[in-house]
Amino acid sequence: MNIETNLTPTSIPITLNCSGGVSLGAYMAGVLYELTQEALQPQPKIIIDIITGSSAGAMSGTLAAYYLLGGDNLLTKSPEDSAFYQTWVEQADIKNIDNISFLIKSLWEGIIVTIDTFRESIKITRKRKKQTASIEEAQEEPPRLNRPHLSIFSREAIDKITEVVQPIGGMKPPQKPLALLMTVTNLQGILEQIVFNHSNFKTITSSETRQFLFHSAIEANRMKNMWKKVVKGAQASGAFPVAFPPVRDNSNINSANMAKISNDYFIEIESNQPRRELKNTVPKSIRPIPPDEKTLSFLYTDGGILDGLPIAKGIAIEKKLELEEAEAVFSEKDKPFVSEWKNLNLDNRKRLYVYIQPTPTEKLTSEARLTQGYFSAIEIGLSAFTLPWEEHDAIRLNEILRRNRDAQRKQKLRARLAEKFGTEKLAEIDTILDEAIPYRFINLKRIDPSIIGKIYQSLNSPSETETSSLQSLLPIYEALPYRIKQNLQDKNTKGILASDFLGAFGGFFDKRYREHDFLLGRISGLTWLCQNCQVEISESKINDILAQMRGKNKKILETDPKPSDLKLSQKIRIGKLALRALRIAVIESTIVGYFWIVSLGVIKLTVILLLTLLELLATLLSVVIELLEKVLAP
């Protein structure tokens, strides 16, 4: 199928990767606003055809996809009216994720779960007391499908994305193809089957990648269903553990994320037959209600837990699309996407892999632990959970580095073979060579707050093309507060964004912090476009940004916010949230043995009651003090 495009010969293909960042999603949203706007111009300098995302990045990537697929016209909207701003600046507020209605709901659900944990304790104790009970029976737990999932925050703000990106009448098939991939973490995990030399190896994996391939030939009804699945996946990927409850979602057994699932789930069939029906013995805990013979149901949480930088997924799908027989690699329903993508005639040698990272590591003092001399037992224990999470960037970036080295070796090998046997002979083995070393050089481009410093550095740049584009942004750079310009020169990115304290949850406490980060995200996006794509920024856009940086209602903060800068009511709220977290931990605890159920059960109920009363007192106190703060405010 031929599709009409407004691409120019100089349009640069972009694979866009959006990582996590909690409330720093406001910065990422600002970057994406500018990149998406450029991709939607009548004669764009870039085309965004592949998006990958995890955690907050999956939510931001969904917002970008919403506009790229034609859900709404971003070019006619002001930044404040865009879904990027509405989601990450307006909705991502502490009052939306922690309010009185959620407190009441949390306390009521706490009672339900407390009763359920005591029932569970008694059931487990009974089974262990039975002489005839097998080990499996003794360890078996009830499905608990109806038990509420306790969390510190309400998922209301995450669910708001559904309202923001749902156009009247639903999403319609797009004019241009777009691949959207997002990671989610499956709490139950999937039993996978991996075959090595006719030997089957079974493993449990919890890392899933949702793959959505949009094209103009999609039927309207399927498009609507796909988009609902996208929104659900974004909600699941953005559900930060403990802070937000997990999301239950269904997966079709023939979907891409179930490709390696073990045959243990299915009724036995011949090896050459497709999987058709689930076994009756598949537990109810992973079956949808009502049951469906081709659907499994799982609980999902933050996609950044196991894959916080899924850019390798974008590289992999692009490589598949470039194959001569690419349609054979994809399912029947996705073949039109392959055809339309190839018809774009992109020059993938120019492709840029954009990596948005709100808080990069720049130097030895970027992280305290880099020079820390002693670690307490608690710190060592916590590191078992935090270090694997923090290792994502190093693992993925080193993986890309290895691929680039292999790509360079392939080029050297190709040159030597051509020199020895001639280009005609080389053409015969070129396909085999590409299959053996299926990599092309990856041109990775990072966008982080430090890129704004490139505006000032352009004064000494030898490149006239780069200089002219970047120097148009000099008025914006000059309008930045002195502390930000100093941090840019010192490469201290932690002193630039406002939401990067309290584990990046700080931005939830004040809209001003998110406004600051969103505007700096826009400036970062414009700087990147000028530096890498020679985009000419209109005078009206520059003046619009300058207007938000000056005057009484300016959105750029003069000082870097710290926990000590929070209002008293906000500090009390933090204490209340800590009490809630402790209450949840006590409620979820399970006691085994009749003696311990009675003796420790009394203590458990007493502690729960005490924590509940303290939480209610802290809530009342924070409300009263907040009212006083408003009355006494100048």
Indicate the length of the chain as a whole number.
Answer: 634
User: Which one has a higher pLDDT value, 210 or 503?
Assistant: 210
Q: What is the pLDDT of residue 376?
A: 86
pLDDT at 170 over 70: yes
pLDDT for 68: 95
Identify the weakest region by mean pLDDT among 202-206, 314-318, 419-423, 582-586. 419-423
Asked which of 108-117, 220-229, 250-259, 519-528 is least confident by mean pLDDT, the reply is 250-259
pLDDT at 417: 83
User: Residues 180-195: what's their mean pLDDT?
Assistant: 91
Q: Contact, 33 vs 18, CB < 8 A?
A: no
Q: What is the mean pLDDT of residues 41-60?
A: 94
Q: Residue 500 pLDDT more than 60?
A: yes
Residue 445: how many other CB atoms lie within 10 Å: 14
Say what the pLDDT of residue 273 is: 62
Is the confidence at residue 627, as pLDDT, over 70? Answer: yes
CB atoms within 10 A of CB 169: 8
CA distance 219 to 68: 18
- Give the per-residue pLDDT at 275: 61
The amino acid sitting at 403 is: R
pLDDT of residue 166: 81
Which of 153-167, 182-196, 472-486, 531-545 has the weakest average pLDDT? 153-167
Write the pLDDT tens digit of every residue in 51-93: 999 999 999 999 999 999 988 888 888 999 999 999 999 999 9
Q: Please report the DSSP string for 109-165 in residue order.
A: HHHHHHHHHHHHHHHHHHHHH-SS--HHHHH-----TTS----SS-SHHHHHHHHHT
Which amino acid would we find at residue 486? Q
pLDDT at residue 5 greater than cutoff 90: no
Residue 548: predicted pLDDT: 94
What is the C-alpha to C-alpha distance for residues 588 and 149, in angstroms, rounded to an integer?
10
Cα 279 from chain centre: 34
268 or 408, which is more confident: 408
User: What percent of the chain stands above pLDDT 90?
Assistant: 50
- Report, as an integer, the average pLDDT of 599-603: 93
pLDDT tens profile 457-473 = 888 766 655 567 899 99
Q: Average pLDDT, stretch 609-631?
A: 95
CA terminus-to-terminus distance, the chain: 63
- 232 — phi, psi (to 5°)? -65, -40
Each domain of the chain, given as residue ranges in start order, spans 12-95+155-350, 101-150+567-632, 391-440, 450-498+514-564
Find all residues with CB under 8 Å of 346, minimum gap 6, and list them: 11, 13, 47, 49
pLDDT band, very low/low/confident/very high, at 272 (cuts 50, 70, 90): low
Mean pLDDT of the residues in the chain:
87
pLDDT in tens, 308-333: 888 889 998 998 898 878 888 888 88
Q: Exposed, middle or buried, 453 (CB in 10 Å: 0-12/13-18/19+)?
A: buried
201: confidence class by pLDDT, cuts 50, 70, 90: confident
pLDDT score recorded for residue 97: 92
Q: What confidence tier does 396 reach under pLDDT thresholds 50, 70, 90?
A: confident
Residue with tokens 């414009």: 526
Higher pLDDT, 519 or 273: 519
Q: What is the mean pLDDT of residues 385-401?
A: 81
| Ranges 7-11, 516-520, 592-596: which has the least confidence | 7-11
Q: Which is higher by pLDDT, 130 or 18?
A: 18
Split at pLDDT 50, 70, 90, the class of 13 is very high
Give the model's pLDDT for residue 274: 62
Confidence at 197, pLDDT banded by 50, 70, 90: confident
Q: Over the stretch 416-428, which tens digit does the pLDDT of each residue have?
A: 888 888 877 777 7
226-261, pLDDT tens digit by residue?
999 999 999 999 998 999 999 999 988 888 878 888
**Mean pLDDT across 428-449:** 82
Question: What average pLDDT does range 514-528 have in this prediction?
Answer: 97
**Residue 2: its pLDDT value, please?**
43
User: Residue-wise over 51-81: b if at least 16 C-beta within 10 A, else e?
Assistant: bbbbbbbbbbbbbbbbbbbbbbebeebebee
**pTM confidence score:** 0.90
Band (pLDDT 50/70/90 cuts) for residue 139 is: very low
SS3 at position 88: helix
